[in-house]
Chain A
Amino acid sequence: MLKVVKKAEGSFRQTTILRIVTVVIALFASSLVIAALGYNPVNVYSELFQGATGSLPRWQETINKAIPLIVLSLGISVAFKMKFWNIGAEGQFYMGAMGATYVALNFKDLPSYLLLPFMMFAGFLFGGLWILIPAILKLKLGTSETLVTLMLNYVAISFITYLQYGPWKDPTAMGFAKIPNFTDNAVLPKVLGVHIGWIISLILVLIIYILMKYTKLGYEITVLGENIQTAKYAGMNVTKILIIAVFISGGLCGLAGMLQSSGVERSLSDQISNSLGFTAIITSWLAGLSAPAILIVSILFAILLQGGAFIQSSLQIPASVAEVIQGIILFFVLGSEFFINYKIVFVKSKKEAIK
Chain B
Amino acid sequence: MNEFLSGLSSFLQLSIQMGTTLLFGTLGGILCEKVGHLNLGIEGMMLMGAVFGHYIGLSTGSPLFAILGAGIAGLVGALIYAFITVSLKGNQTVTGLVLTIFGSGIANFIGKILVKNQKSGLLPDRLPVAVADCFKPFKIPVLSDIPVIGKALFHQSIFIPISIICAVLLYVYLKKTKFGLDLRVVGENPAAADASGINISLYKYVHILAGGFLCGLGGAYLSLSFLSTWKEGMTSGLGWIAVALIIFSTWNPLKAIFGAYFFGILRCLPFKIQNASLFGIPISIPSQFLTMLPYVMTIVALVFITLRKKKENSPPAWLGNPYFREDR
Contacts and interface: CB of A to CB of B under 8 A. Distances in A.
Answer yes or no: A and B touching, Cβ < 8 Å.
Answer: yes
Interface of A: 37, 85, 87, 137-144, 146-148, 150-152, 154-155, 158-159, 161-162, 165-166, 228-229, 232-233, 238, 242, 278-279, 281-282, 285, 318-324, 326-328, 330-331, 334-335, 337-338, 341-342
Contacts, number: 159
Residue with the greatest number of chain A CB neighbours at <10 A, chosen from B90, B299, B310: B299
A142 B319 contact: yes
B160 interface: no
Contacts of A142: 306, 309-310, 315-319
B169 interface: no
22 contacts: A138-B318, A140-B316, A142-B315, A147-B243, A148-B299, A151-B296, A152-B299, A154-B237, A158-B292, A158-B295, A162-B288, A162-B289, A165-B288, A281-B94, A281-B97, A320-B104, A324-B106, A327-B103, A331-B80, A331-B98, A334-B84, A334-B90
A306 B298 CA distance: 36
Nearest to A230: B322
Residue with the greatest number of chain A CB neighbours at <10 A, chosen from B90, B98, B310: B98
Given A137-B303, A335-B84, A155 B296 contact: yes
Nearest to B99: A327
B302 interface: yes
B171 interface: no
Contacts of B104: 320, 323
B315 A327 contact: no
Contacts of B323: 229
B95 interface: yes
Nearest to B108: A320
B286 A166 contact: yes
Contact of B295 (A152, A232, A320): A152
B286 A162 contact: yes
Contacts of A318: 108-109, 112
Contacts of B240: 150, 154
Interface residues of B, number: 54
B295 A282 contact: no
A336 B116 CA distance: 36
Contacts of B296: 151, 155
Interface string B84-106: 10011111011101111111111
B109 A320 contact: yes
A151 B318 contact: no
B98 A144 contact: no
A146 B302 contact: no
The prevalent SS among residues of B at the interface is helix
7 nearest interchain CB pairs? A142-B316, A327-B102, A323-B105, A338-B88, A320-B108, A162-B288, A151-B295
A143 B303 contact: yes
A87 B97 CA distance: 10
Contacts of B173: none
Contact of B302 (A143, A232, A319, A323): A143
A259 B317 CA distance: 36
Interface of B: 38, 40, 80, 83-84, 87-91, 93-95, 97-109, 112, 237, 240, 243-244, 247, 286, 288-289, 291-292, 295-296, 298-299, 302-303, 306-307, 309-310, 315-319, 322-323
B313 to A, nearest CB: 12
A147 B295 contact: no
A151 B100 CA distance: 16
Given A154-B240, A166-B286, A330-B94, 13 more contacts: A147-B302, A150-B240, A151-B244, A151-B298, A154-B291, A165-B288, A233-B322, A320-B106, A331-B80, A334-B91, A337-B90, A338-B89, A342-B89
Nearest to B83: A335
A320 B106 CA distance: 7
Contacts of A150: 40, 240, 243
A146 B88 CA distance: 22
B197 to A, nearest CB: 15
Contact of A238 (B88, B99, B318): B318
A146 B101 CA distance: 18
B319 A282 contact: no
Contacts of B244: 147, 151
Contacts of B316: 138-142
A321 B237 contact: no
A285 B94 contact: yes
A250 to B, nearest CB: 16
A222 B27 CA distance: 38
A158 B318 contact: no
Given A142-B316, A142-B319, A151-B295, A320 B94 contact: no
A327 B93 CA distance: 14
A87 B310 CA distance: 24
B14 to A, nearest CB: 21
A320 B298 CA distance: 32
B286 A146 contact: no
B91 A285 contact: yes
A330 B302 contact: no
B102 A323 contact: yes
B191 to A, nearest CB: 16
A279 B298 CA distance: 24
A324 B105 contact: yes
Nearest to B110: A320
Given A152-B299, A335-B88, A143 B98 contact: no
Given A139-B318, A229-B322, A328 B306 contact: no
A144 B316 CA distance: 10
Contacts of B38: 146
A133 to B, nearest CB: 8
Given A138-B318, A282-B94, A335-B90, A148 B101 contact: no
Given A162-B288, A328-B102, A323 B108 contact: yes
Residue with the greatest number of chain B CB neighbours at <10 A, chosen from A147, A150, A152, A334: A334
B48 to A, nearest CB: 12
A141 B303 CA distance: 7
Contacts of B97: 278, 281-282
A337 B318 contact: no
Contacts of A327: 98-99, 101-103, 105-106
